[in-house]
Structure 1
Amino acid sequence: MGELYVCSVLVTGANRGIGLGIVRQFLGLPNPPKWVFAACRDPKGQRAQELQNLASKHPNLVIIPLEVTDPASIKAASARVGEHLGGAGLNLLINNAGTAKAKSLDNETLENMSQTYTTNTTGPLLLSQAFLPLLKKAAQESPGSALSCSKAAIINVSSAAGSIEEVYLWDYGQVISYRCSKAALNMLTKCQSLGYREHGILCVALHPGWVQTDMGSSGSQKPPVTVDESVRGMLEVFSSLSEKETGTFLDWEGKVVPW
């Protein structure tokens, strides 16, 4: 794996699954970030216990309360992160928080479509808007003009389930709202890559694989990829991302996923 030098990273949905795995592996790097911001809805709750344990051992880990569907919560989170950074920028925003409900084409509902879209698509949009000043600051502070995760980047954790060409695992589960929200997230990523390139910010949609998490393991089959395998792969991808990858849809092994 190429060396990944990131001074500061924010991960949403960081209390379990892939988000928690990303936090763990960043903390375990030979050159860990100066700041790892782990955002979740209820930092003091039982579901954040592992995160709390990590924070007690790692002074560079800061747990941030965040509800990605609430603009006021997002604004408060960006203010808290800005305070900790003390005038420095944020190198890496990983929009990982997501939701999925196993609804078919016949029983999908307005309420579920709205809730899923708000979390999986609108949340990353609002987060990126709120943290844009800190990302721009990081890009300005970074030497050179080449885009990279060490400079400033937005990683939107997407899914091959949102690939219109592949329609990944259709026979396993239709999950209509999830698929539609991730397809929309992919378009958002493309738009961000075009809008934020001038600010020196790299934007990529990343499929973490079919991973053994609470969400991924909700059906009858066991997913083939462990959290550790997925996150190790993703960090390797982070280390290799450059100008030519901005606006692309990749998987945890760095392969291009069709739109």
Structure 2
Amino acid sequence: MEILQPQSVLVTGSDRGIGLGLVNQFLEKPNPPEWVFATSMNLEGYHGKELKNLALLHPNLVVLQLDIRDLKSIEAAVQRVKEHVKGNGLTVLINNAGILVKFTCLANETPEQMASLYHTNTIGTLQVSQAFLPLLKVAAQASPKKGLSCSKAAIINISSDFSSMEEMSGWWLSQVISYRCSKTAGNMLTRCQSLEYKQFGILSLAIHPGWVKTAMGTCLVPTTVKESTSGILKVLSRVTEKDTGSFLDWEGNVVPW
């Protein structure tokens, strides 16, 4: 297994849940990244303040305000990251920020709800990836590593097995139509990124983190945040060029599209 050694990592939506878990996993590595960028929509809220307190304990942790729906907010975050990474670029972008909002079904789904989730879960992921692409290219070009890996340059999109059209996981428990559709569209975005960005030395991957006990999940779930996020880092340590454009779960298993 290759040792995961990204020089820098940015995780969106990282003031709680899986995002915060990923930030902690990177910070606790024996060989942590030089820079870990954690983002929150509201740095003055409870979770944002907790994230800022964590940064006091880790000098390599930089906390940024970022609303993935707002281009000005995204560009401001890009500029902050540039100031820290300088000419080294950004090694790994983890698009974790996303919303579920309401437990909808076909009978009560609305255009407004569908548009809201697409705006965040799909368009937000696209916008953030586009904005950080120049820094990812710089990291790939500066890396001496051959092929593709998460120690060179990578976009990791946090998906869900609810997006699998073959499995239709959890259908009888929760239809959540707009969430499923937005995440399925995000999977297609990952595939498109893998085809377009491979030429620049950037790996692209969709990952299902498992059914995790978070604010978005429920208490009746088998996987903890720590189990999920430590598993994700193990997956990131072993993916290579052959895996770009894949949809994997937190244990490294292939998830059907």
Opposite residue 31 of structure 1, the aligned amino acid is N
Opposite residue 146 of structure 1, the aligned amino acid is G
Aligned-pair distance for 1:50?
2.5
How far apart, CA to CA, are the structure 1 residues paired with 2:151 and 2:193?
18
Quote the residue 1:93 is aligned against.
93
Quote the residue 2:31 is aligned against.
31
Opposite residue 54 of structure 1, the aligned amino acid is L
Quote the residue 1:257 is aligned against.
255
How far apart, CA to CA, are the structure 2 residues paired with 1:214 and 1:53?
21
Quote the residue 2:195 is aligned against.
194
Q: What's the TM-score once normalised by structure 1's chain length?
A: 0.97
Give SS of 1:23's match.
Answer: helix
Q: Percent identity?
A: 60
Give SS of 1:86's match.
Answer: helix
For residues 38-77 of structure 1, what are the structure 2 equivalents within 5 Å? 38-77=38-77
How far apart, CA to CA, are the structure 2 residues paired with 1:96 and 1:249?
15
Are positions 1:140 and 2:141 aligned together? Answer: yes
Quote the residue 2:160 is aligned against.
159
Quote the residue 1:224 is aligned against.
222
Give SS of 1:183's match.
Answer: helix
Structure 2 contact 148–202 (Cα < 8 Å) conserved: yes
Quote the residue 2:151 is aligned against.
150
Opposite residue 187 of structure 1, the aligned amino acid is M
Quote the residue 1:17 is aligned against.
17
How far apart, CA to CA, are the structure 2 residues paired with 1:254 and 1:107?
35
Are positions 1:114 and 2:112 aligned together? Answer: no
Aligned-pair distance for 1:2?
4.5
Give SS of 2:152's match.
Answer: coil
Q: How many residues get paired?
A: 256
Q: Which runs of 4+ in 1 moved over 4 A?
A: none
Give SS of 2:88's match.
Answer: coil
How far apart, CA to CA, are the structure 1 residues paired with 2:199 and 2:10?
22
Aligned-pair distance for 1:47?
2.0
Aligned-pair distance for 1:49?
3.0
How far apart, CA to CA, are the structure 1 residues paired with 2:198 and 2:19?
26
Q: What's the TM-score once normalised by structure 2's chain length?
A: 0.98
Aligned-pair distance for 1:3?
2.0
Structure 1 contact 35–60 (Cα < 8 Å) conserved: yes
Structure 1 contact 250–256 (Cα < 8 Å) conserved: yes
Deviations 1:123-165 (A, max 9, x none): 1111110000000000000013310000000000000000000
Quote the residue 1:215 is aligned against.
216
Give SS of 2:24's match.
Answer: helix
Deviations 1:25-68 (A, max 9, x none): 10000000000000110122212233122101001000011000
Opposite residue 233 of structure 1, the aligned amino acid is G
How far apart, CA to CA, are the structure 2 residues paired with 1:182 and 1:141?
32
How far apart, CA to CA, are the structure 1 residues paired with 2:44 and 2:140?
33
Structure 1 contact 2–236 (Cα < 8 Å) conserved: no
Deviations 1:165-220 (A, max 9, x none): 00111111000000000100000000000000000000000000000001011xxx
How far apart, CA to CA, are the structure 1 residues paired with 2:168 and 2:82?
39
Quote the residue 2:244 is aligned against.
246
Structure 2 contact 42–48 (Cα < 8 Å) conserved: yes
Quote the residue 1:174 is aligned against.
175
Opposite residue 188 of structure 1, the aligned amino acid is L
Gaps of 5+ in 2: none
Gaps of 5+ in 1: none
1:233 paired residue among 228, 231, 247:
231
- Comparing 46-55 with 60-69, which one deviates more in the overlay? 46-55
Aligned-pair distance for 1:4?
1.1
